[in-house]
A and B are shown apart, each in its own frame.
Chain A
């Protein structure tokens, strides 16, 4: 009835510095149900005290109803992450579930991606926003075809950090030789894919027991041969993708809308002392920086489809009444420019001279996410940045065998396939290679009939351009 106060936890969370400095880190988990993924997620939440008492009560009741007798106090930790009625009834996870927990160093957003059904769809979705992905392997089974598929998808999506958790290490008697063998297999697959050796991604392997908690939050004494950090320590210290990319000179800013109040100012802003006269001709471009950083005085190019890039200077970076000298991804701001160009939603503001010419020919890898197959000749919509254009599927040039990493001939793509296609766009777009630009190299394929999302698209270089070998699969 009254709130229970756990003072130790409050003290840990509320120590002033961590509260204001804690950064956000997004990660996803991938693996099949049998690898104990839900148990690992439950363990992370449980041991970092992110599970609140009434959730635990509900789970304990259900565990008892089903006669769950495992360790972890007789609680089936997997139940914590199964959100929908059908999932609990069938004991499977259907859809990506988002979970939240915090330590004194970081706040975490966890996308828990089911492995069994539609694993490509779920892994692609979860990985698209993730700074890191944890892939589970059952220590008794080692690297399976599914592991190869997961790693292949993660390499394609250019996830910055891939952590392979070798789970159920307790069931192989904490054997170092079993772990070393799996570790070597993982690194071998990584080398075949370029994962961990391309300068963009890294690949770590950690032995864990999700059921008992070994090396999940605390380092385990039962794996004395493992001197590396526990999984949570890894997640707490890896740099987030935005941190890794913020040093780049590649400022990118898709314009969402133009803020031009023309005298219709917010009454609370006026009441707060804003002088309407000064804002009579106010015009700023609102958006979220997708990559890099920008300073007042920087030279930028405005990219409008069908027009030559126009170069101008940033005269102001505004955010809700504050003027900033500098801003970086992923900040949402409003940018003012020196010249009164006609700039609109769908245009992109970029560091001057860093973007190649817009193109209406789109070569891409497509992760097909719809039960409706892709056929050559189909008319679709492409959403890139803040612009949506019509497109024609000219050709499908192959389908990736995720287990062997070979490209096979194909003329259509089905649900969960990843393939290559060429599209012709109704208007040119400032397309960039996904390998180097995770946001401006990404797009959605949308069905014009029912509006559903058909595919996740990754822009490739045009044939004949310098094609990066790491991206050639």
Chain B
């Protein structure tokens, strides 16, 4: 009798377990998928995620602190200084080398280089992995304006100084002329000084 009981039990078990399984898969079938359509929508990325860098170029002073901190020397930068303003040439990061260690971020005195949240970075050519972080080349319009302003100010100051000196020299000359012909070269000396 046990054989027959076993036989019946097998049938009942098969049907029952299949139905249980179908209930579970059916539940999943009706629920909303948990995946997202990647390039169109993205899952939120944690704030402290270490992705591709971004640079606040306005703040950067070209001090090379980050480049020196980099353990694999993948940061290179170049800028021409005009007084206090910078004319940017390049600020490259070689992502073939970069290991996203974040060591470049801490030494920055101006807090201008950051790790971003962008992680998808593909290319058909290796050379494209040398990424330029600059958002503009040369000088920004504001920096240029500031530079021109500063130059103007400097010029004005110099002119004022020169005018003052000239005035002083003229005064001296007048005084010496008034004294007589004792010091004939005094006017030119004052002008040069």
Indicate, yes or no, whether A interacts with B: no
